[in-house]
Amino acid sequence: MNSFKAAFALFGLACTALAGCAGSSDDYPSLAIRDAERVTGSLSPASQPSAPALSAQTIESIDAALLSAQSMHARFLDARPQAAALVDAARGSGPESDNRAKALIAMADLTSLHSETAITLAELDRMEVEAATEFASVDTIRSAQIEVKKLVSDQDLILDALWSEIDG
């Protein structure tokens, strides 16, 4: 028990000695925020560099793709009345009839024209990817894509209606 009392007395003496080392709080700097540490002023974001313009060759390719899609769409619309007439004539006929075969051939021709229009859309998609990898503006390409998508969508509706008549 004596060793316990001696250890306790030694501990008390050490605490008293350490307490004497502490000085007044005036000797130490304050931890409060100083004026120099306050946030003042404002930063403006750096201006974004403008995207490089599309090359003349790319613009020509976009114009050519649009012209091709419009040409295919015009051919599609020109072929539609004949295909619709053949589909009408085939209505109610069996799978082995000549009228149905002629209607299917006309529908295959329409589908082929539709595919050529869709290929133009794929070409525009390729141009967009190339322009995007060069960080060029793709707005012109996207507006051309929207126009061609509308043509393809219109053709889809026409084909769906004609196919439903053949199948019905």
Give the model's pLDDT for residue 42: 72
pLDDT band at 32 (very low <50, low <70, confident <90, very high): confident
**Exposed e or buried b per residue across 46-83, where buried means at least 16 C-beta atoms within 10 angstroms of its C-beta:** eeeeeeeebeeebeebbeebbebbeebbebbeebbeeb
Single pTM value for the model: 0.67
pLDDT digits (tens, 9 = 90+) for 84-121: 999 998 887 777 888 888 999 999 999 999 999 999 99
Q: What is the mean pLDDT of residues 14-36?
A: 70
Report all structural domains of the chain as residue ranges with CATH numbers, in order of start.
56-167 (1.20.58)
